[in-house]
C-alpha cells in the first residue's frame, strides 16, 4: 500500500473534537485540550477486561431468576431461558424469538465477535479486514438492543404493582444482565477498529 | 517522511500488541477481577445456601408442581419441590424437594410432611388460602432426632404438631365408637384437646387411641384420671334398667373423649410415661375400675338361666365382685342330665382386705367360705327386662357342700332361685285351685239364688211394715219414756221434796228403832218392869 496514513504523518485525531493535529500520544489537543491518542489507549486490555467481565456476569444472569411474579399468593420466579420456554409453550413464538434474540443471541454474539476481533488483532491476522470491520460495526449497532429485556423488567415492575393481586419484582439476574449489556457496550466502544488495519499497514511496510 | 514515520512507528510499538509483555497490568483489569470475585461470592453463597435434598412419598401428587410447590414450616417457606415422579412400583408419588440451608437441621426422622389443600370437614374449613396460591407441603419438624432424607408423607394433616404445647396420652378402648381423628377432648365440657389418631392393637383385641391434651390442661391428667367416650347415643339395657344418654349434637356426630379426676381414696400420682388409660364407654362406667386379677369359678344352676347374659354382674350383698363370662348347656349322656354351667370371674381386687395385704390363696378362702354357707343364686335384677344376675351370699342353713372341681375350674355350689321356688309354689296353688268342683258350686249357686232373692224380698216387705206400723208407736213410747225419765230425774234431785221427806222419814225410823233397842235392853235387864212398870229412881 502506498497510501500515507495519518499515523505515518504523525497526525493524531482528537477523540473529542476530531481536530487533526500533529503531536505524540499524551499531547493535548490545541483546540479543545483533550488528551491526544494515536489509537484508543489500552484498547485491547480494556476490551478484554470488559469482555471477561461480561462473560463472568453472563453466567449468573442466566442462572438466577430475572423476574419474580407474585400473583394471587403464587410466587413464581423465572430465569431468562425459563421465560423464553414459557412463551414458546404458550404459543407466543414471536415474543419468544425476540427475547431469545435480544437476551441470549446478542450478548453471546457480541462477546464472540469482540473476542474474535481481539484475537485476530493480537495474532496479527490479515484475514478480510473489511469483514471484520463490518462485524465490529454490527456489534456497536446491535449492542444497545440487548437492553430490551431490562426495559421489559423495569416496565413490568413499574406497571404491575397491584399489591396482593400481583406484584413483579426484579430478580438478581436483571442486575447481572444489565451489567453484561453495559460491559459489552463499553467493550465495543473501547475496541479500536483501526487496530485491524494497523496490522495490514505494518505488514505492508514490512513486506516491501 | 522518513523521520516522522519512524517516530510513530516507535509509538505504535508501544501501543501495539506488546501490551502482553507489559510488566504492570492496566487498572482496567480490576473490573473483571471484581466481577469474578462477586461471581465467586455468589456461587459460594448459593452453594452454602443449598440445603439438603430429600424425598417424600405421597399417595397422590394432587396440586403439586415441580419447582413451584413450596415447603413451609409454620407458614414460613423452608424449601421447594424440585421434582415429582412416580415410584418404581407406581404406588406412590415421590417428591424430591430441597430445603434451605438454615432449615436443614429440621430434617430429622421425626419430621412429618403433608400436603395442605383446601379442606372442608366437620371440624372446620382449612387451607382456604391454597385455593389461590395452590397447594403446598407443610412440615412439622417434630422432636430433634437423627437426620433423615426419606419420608412418608401424611395423607391428612396431623392433629398434633410439635408447635403445640401439651401431651399425648394413650387410651385403650374396646371399640372406637363414633370417634375420628380431630374429635374433641373435653374436661368439664371445655375442649382441651383433640383425638390425634387411633390404631388397632396388634392382637386386634382393642383400639389404641392417641389423644392430645393441650397445655396447661395436660397437667390435669393424673394416673387416676378416667377417660370416657362422650360420642353418640349410649343406650344401655342391663340389670339397672334402660338408660339412654347423649351429649351435644356435635359430639353425636363427631364423637369425643372427656376426662375427669374422680374423687377417690387413691393418691394423686403423675402419669407415668407410656401409661395406657382405659377409655370407658360412658361416664357412668368410669367408677368401675378395670381389674387385672381375675379368678374363674363355675356355677352349676339346675334351672333356667333365661335372662342371664355374659357380662351380667356377680354381686355379693349388692356390690359387684365379678361378672358372668360364659354359659352353655351341657348334656351328660350317661346320667341323661342337662346342666348349665356358668363361668364367672371374681375380681379379688374389688375387696379391700382389713389389715392390708391380699386375700391370700383365693381357693383356700373360698373353700372356707363355701363351708360356711356361701352359695350362688340367680336373682332378678330388673323386672322390666327380666335380666338376671348372680348373687353370692351366705345361707348357713343350706345343705353342706364343698368347693368342687369342675374341669379346670372350681365350682361354687348354687341354690335354686327364690323366684323359682316362688313360681313352683304358685304352680302348686294353681293346681289345687283347678281341682275345686267349680261347676257343681256354680250349679248350686244357680238354684239358691232365686230362693235367696225371694227371702230378700220378704225381708224387704217386713222391713217396710215395721217401718210403717211399729215405728210411730215406738216413737210415742219413746217420748213418754223420755217424759217419765225427766220426772224421775226431777224427783231424784237432791233438793226435791220427795228426797227431804224420805230423809226425814228415815230419821224418824232410825229414832224409832233406837227407842225399840232401848226398850229391849230395859226388858232384858228388868224383865219385871213389864209387870211392875218402870223402876223408880232411887
Nearest to A179 by CA among A43, A64, A15: A64
Q: How far is CA B350 from CA B1, B317, B334, B346, B510, in A?
A: 132, 13, 40, 9, 100
Cβ pair A10:B7 closer than 8 A? yes
List, for residues A20-50, the tens digit of each pLDDT value. Answer: 888 777 788 888 888 888 777 788 888 888 9
Q: What secondary structure letter does DSSP report for B147?
A: B
Residue in A7, A41, A49 closest to B32 by CB: A49
pLDDT of res. B170:
87
The alpha-carbon gap from A189 to the nearest alpha carbon of chain B, in Å, equals 14
Cβ pair B8:A122 closer than 8 A? no
pLDDT of res. B355:
58
List, for residues B506-523, the tens digit of each pLDDT value. Answer: 999 999 999 999 988 988
Q: Which of B28, B133, B135 to mutate to test the interface with A (most CBs of A within 10 A)?
A: B28
Show the low-confidence residues of chain B (pLDDT under 70).
1-24, 121-124, 159-160, 162-163, 231-236, 239, 245-254, 264-268, 287-293, 352-360, 419-421, 534-538
Cβ pair B16:A25 closer than 8 A? no
Q: How far is CA B235 from CA A80, B152, B175, B242, B255, in A?
A: 70, 41, 15, 7, 15
- Percent with pLDDT over 90 in chain B: 5
- The confidence band for A207, taking pLDDT boundaries of 50, 70 and 90, is very low
Closest-approach residue (CA) in chain A for B29 = A49
**Dihedral sign for Cα atoms in the order A98, A101, A103, A106:** negative
Residue A6 has pLDDT above 80, yes or no: no
pLDDT of res. B7:
40
Per CB-CB distance under 8 Å, the chain A contacts of B19 are 42, 44-45
Arithmetic mean of pLDDT over chain A: 82
The alpha-carbon gap from B31 to the nearest alpha carbon of chain A, in Å, equals 7
Q: Name which residue leads in pLDDT, A4 or B372.
A: B372
Residue in A39, A53, A72 closest to B35 by CB: A53
Residue in A8, A46, A53 closest to B1 by CB: A8
List, for residues B311-343, the tens digit of each pLDDT value. Answer: 888 888 888 888 888 888 888 888 888 778 888
pLDDT of res. B216:
86
Cβ pair A9:B1 closer than 8 A? yes
Q: In which residue are the cell numbers 222419814 written?
A: B505
Taken in order of first residue, the domains within chain A and their CATH numbers are 1-38 (no CATH), 42-206 (1.20.140)
Cβ pair A53:B16 closer than 8 A? no
The average pLDDT across A51-62 equals: 88
**Rounded distance between C-alpha atoms, residue B59 and residue B91, angstroms:** 7
Cβ pair B4:A52 closer than 8 A? no
Per CB-CB distance under 8 Å, the chain B contacts of A56 are 32, 35-36, 39
ipTM of the complex: 0.73
DSSP A113-142: HHHHHHHHHHTT--S-HHHHHHHHHHHHHH
**Rounded distance between C-alpha atoms, residue B209 and residue B50, angstroms:** 40
Separate counts of helices (H) and strands (E) for chain B: 10, 27
Cβ pair A73:B132 closer than 8 A? yes
Burial of B349 (0-12, 13-18, 19+ CB in 10 A): middle
pLDDT of res. B264:
67
pLDDT of res. B249:
65
pLDDT of res. A73:
56
The answer to whether B378 and B303 have CB atoms below 8 angstroms apart is: yes
Cβ pair A74:B68 closer than 8 A? yes
Would you list the domain boundaries of chain B? 47-152, 166-287, 296-416, 485-524
Q: How far is CA A76 from CA A100, B251, B476, in A?
A: 20, 44, 132
Interface of chain B toward chain A, CB-CB under 8 angstroms: 1, 4-5, 7-8, 11-12, 14-17, 19-20, 25-26, 28-32, 34-36, 39, 42, 68, 70, 129, 132-134
List, for residues A146-197, the tens digit of each pLDDT value. Answer: 788 888 888 888 888 776 677 888 888 888 889 898 988 888 888 888 888 8
Nearest to B170 by CA among B200, B205, B212, B142: B212
Closest-approach residue (CA) in chain B for A165 = B132
**How many residues would you count in chain B?**
538
- The confidence band for A203, taking pLDDT boundaries of 50, 70 and 90, is low
Dihedral (Cα; B384, B386, B387, B393), 10-degree rounding: 110
Cβ pair A42:B26 closer than 8 A? yes
Q: How far is CA A45 from CA A49, B18, B19, B31, in A?
A: 6, 11, 8, 11
**What pTM was computed for the model?**
0.46
How many Cα atoms occupy the beta-carbon half-sphere of B415 within 13 Å? 19
Nearest to B316 by CA among B350, B363, B342: B350
pLDDT of res. B4:
42
Residue in B19, B36, B70 closest to A45 by CB: B19
Residue in B15, B32, B68 closest to A39 by CB: B15
Per CB-CB distance under 8 Å, the chain B contacts of A24 are 7, 11
The average pLDDT across A75-87 equals: 82
Q: How far is CA B88 from CA B66, B68, B124, B215, in A?
A: 18, 24, 37, 44
Give SS3 for B394.
Answer: strand
Amino acid at each position: 500500500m502506498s497510501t500515507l496514513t495519518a499515523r505515518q504523518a504523525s497526525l493524531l485525531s482528537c477523540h473529542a473534537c476530531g481536530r487533526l493535529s500533529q503531536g505524540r500520544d499524551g499531547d493535548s489537543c490545541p483546540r479543545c485540550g483533550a488528551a491526544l491518542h494515536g489509537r484508543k489507549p489500552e484498547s485491547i486490555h480494556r476490551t478484554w477486561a470488559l469482555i471477561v467481565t461480561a462473560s463472568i456476569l453472563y453466567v449468573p444472569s442466566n442462572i438466577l431468576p430475572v423476574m419474580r411474579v407474585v400473583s394471587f399468593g403464587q410466587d413464581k420466579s423465572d430465569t431468562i431461558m425459563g421465560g423464553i420456554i414459557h412463551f414458546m409453550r404458550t404459543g407466543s413464538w414471536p415474543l419468544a424469538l425476540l427475547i431469545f434474540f435480544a437476551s441470549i443471541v446478542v450478548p453471546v454474539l457480541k462477546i464472540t465477535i469482540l473476542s474474535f476481533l481481539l484475537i485476530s488483532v493480537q495474532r496479527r491476522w490479515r484475514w478480510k479486514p473489511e469483514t471484520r470491520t463490518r462485524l465490529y460495526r454490527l456489534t456497536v449497532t446491535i449492542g444497545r438492543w440487548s437492553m430490551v429485556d431490562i426495559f421489559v423488567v423495569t416496565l413490568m415492575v413499574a406497571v404491575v404493582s397491584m399489591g396482593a393481586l400481583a406484584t413483579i419484582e426484579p430478580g438478581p439476574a436483571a442486575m447481572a444482565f444489565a451489567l453484561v449489556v453495559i460491559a459489552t457496550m463499553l467493550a465495543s466502544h473501547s475496541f479500536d477498529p483501526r487496530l485491524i488495519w494497523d496490522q495490514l499497514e505494518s505488514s505492508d511496510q514490512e513486506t516491501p | 517522511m522518513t523521520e516522522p514515520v519512524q517516530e510513530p512507528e516507535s509509538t505504535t510499538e508501544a501501543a501495539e500488541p506488546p501490551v502482553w509483555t507489559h510488566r504492570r497490568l492496566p487498572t482496567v483489569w480490576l473490573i473483571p477481577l471484581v466481577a469474578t470475585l462477586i461471581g465467586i461470592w455468589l456461587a459460594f453463597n448459593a452453594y452454602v445456601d443449598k440445603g439438603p435434598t430429600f424425598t417424600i412419598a405421597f399417595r397422590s401428587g394432587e396440586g403439586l408442581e415441580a419447582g413451584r410447590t413450596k415447603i413451609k414450616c409454620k407458614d414460613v417457606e423452608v424449601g421447594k419441590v424440585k421434582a415429582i415422579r412416580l415410584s418404581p412400583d407406581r404406588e406412590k408419588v415421590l417428591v424430591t424437594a430441597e430445603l434451605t440451608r438454615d432449615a436443614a437441621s429440621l430434617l430429622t426422622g421425626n419430621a412429618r410432611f403433608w400436603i395442605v389443600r383446601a379442606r372442608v370437614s366437620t371440624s372446620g374449613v382449612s387451607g382456604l388460602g391454597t385455593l389461590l396460591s395452590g397447594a403446598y407441603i407443610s412440615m412439622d419438624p417434630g422432636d430433634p432426632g437423627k437426620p433423615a432424607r426419606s419420608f412418608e408423607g401424611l395423607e391428612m394433616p396431623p392433629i398434633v404438631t410439635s408447635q403445640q404445647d401439651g401431651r399425648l396420652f394413650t387410651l385403650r378402648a374396646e371399640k372406637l365408637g363414633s370417634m375420628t381423628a380431630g374429635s374433641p377432648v373435653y374436661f368439664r365440657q371445655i375442649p382441651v384437646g383433640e383425638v390425634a389418631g387411633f390404631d388397632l392393637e396388634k392382637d386386634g383385641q382393642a383400639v389404641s387411641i392417641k389423644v392430645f391434651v393441650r397445655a396447661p390442661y395436660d397437667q390435669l391428667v393424673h394416673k387416676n384420671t378416667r377417660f370416657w367416650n362422650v360420642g353418640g347415643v349410649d343406650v344401655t339395657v342391663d340389670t339397672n334398667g334402660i338408660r339412654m344418654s347423649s351429649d351435644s349434637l356435635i359430639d353425636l356426630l363427631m364423637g369425643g373423649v372427656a376426662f375427669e379426676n374422680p374423687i377417690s381414696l387413691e393418691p394423686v400420682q403423675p402419669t407415668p410415661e407410656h401409661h395406657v388409660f382405659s377409655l370407658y364407654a360412658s361416664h357412668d362406667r368410669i367408677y368401675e375400675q378395670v381389674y387385672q386379677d381375675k379368678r374363674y369359678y363355675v356355677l352349676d344352676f339346675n334351672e333356667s338361666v333365661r335372662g342371664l347374659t355374659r357380662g351380667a354382674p356377680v354381686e355379693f350383698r349388692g356390690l359387684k365382685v365379678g361378672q358372668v363370662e360364659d354359659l352353655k348347656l351341657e348334656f351328660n349322656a350317661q346320667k341323661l342330665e342337662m346342666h348349665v354351667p356358668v363361668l364367672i370371674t371374681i375380681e379379688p381386687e374389688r375387696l379391700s382386705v382389713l389389715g392390708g395385704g391380699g386375700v391370700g390363696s383365693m381357693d383356700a378362702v373360698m373353700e372356707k367360705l363355701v363351708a360356711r354357707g356361701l352359695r350362688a343364686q340367680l336373682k332378678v335384677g330388673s323386672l322390666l327386662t327380666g335380666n338376671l344376675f348372680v348373687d353370692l351370699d351366705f345361707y348357713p342353713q343350706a345343705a353342706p357342700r364343698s368347693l368342687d372341681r369342675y374341669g379346670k375350674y372350681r365350682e361354687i355350689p348354687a341354690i335354686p332361685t327364690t323366684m323359682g321356688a316362688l313360681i313352683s309354689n304358685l304352680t302348686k296353688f294353681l293346681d289345687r285351685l283347678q281341682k275345686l268342683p267349680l261347676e257343681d258350686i256354680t250349679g248350686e249357686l244357680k238354684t239358691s239364688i232365686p230362693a235367696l232373692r225371694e227371702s230378700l224380698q220378704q225381708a224387704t216387705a217386713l222391713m217396710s211394715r215395721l217401718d210403717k206400723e211399729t215405728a210411730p208407736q215406738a216413737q210415742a213410747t219413746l217420748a213418754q219414756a223420755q217424759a217419765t225419765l225427766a220426772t224421775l230425774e226431777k224427783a231424784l234431785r237432791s233438793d226435791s221434796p220427795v228426797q227431804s221427806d224420805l230423809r226425814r222419814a228415815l230419821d224418824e225410823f232410825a229414832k224409832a228403832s233406837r227407842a225399840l233397842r232401848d226398850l229391849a235392853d230395859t226388858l232384858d235387864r228388868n224383865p219385871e218392869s213389864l209387870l211392875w212398870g218402870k223402876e223408880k229412881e232411887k
